[in-house]
Structure 1
Amino acid sequence: MRYRRVAHVHFRNSAKMADMAKRTAARSVGRPSKGPRDVIVTRVPTDDSAELREEAAARDWSFSETAAALIRIGLRHRDELPAPSKPHGQQELPMNKAS
């Protein structure tokens, strides 16, 4: 097996770190924070999703912002939600046969 000889080229860093601009804590970059956020993932019917996307586009908001605003409004009206028809969580299974 033959090995090729390759010349190693060394580059010098012409810019010194001391010459670079440094960020200061007083100067903020980017958009301001909207405060602490939580990620919520859910599945919605496609018709509702399409309607939500249309509303977001009409307001020039993001999909996420629009969904968060509607959740905020919905939480103020939680008393209008129908009562649950069956209890949630794990329930006892019927035992028809003995093992």
Structure 2
Amino acid sequence: MDPLIPVSDGMDETRDLLISVAGTVANGALLATVAAALIGLIMWGFGTALNMPSLGSRGVQTILGAVVCAVVCAGLNAWVAWFGEQAVSIWH
């Protein structure tokens, strides 16, 4: 076997592995996102109740960051699958 010829079967298996790993990472990130959103809600609530606008605004920013993170995590599998398809098409 010539070592300079790429094995295309390995790329398919690598793509499946990357999708599996990305799904696992996305699940962990979604759990962290929910925790961040809850912390942001608590900060926002305390900031409003205690008349501390800086704490309330930090809570709102935390919630917005958690929403953006959730959107990215939701699309992670699609991104990895798309890039995997591109890699397979490059090697064929």
TM-score bucket of the superposed structures, by smaller chain: under 0.3
Q: TM-score, normalised by structure 2?
A: 0.22
What TM-score, normalized to structure 1?
0.21
Structure (1 or 2) with the larger CA radius of gyration: 1
Which is richer in helix?
2
Q: Which has the higher contact order (CA 8 A, sep 6+)?
A: 2
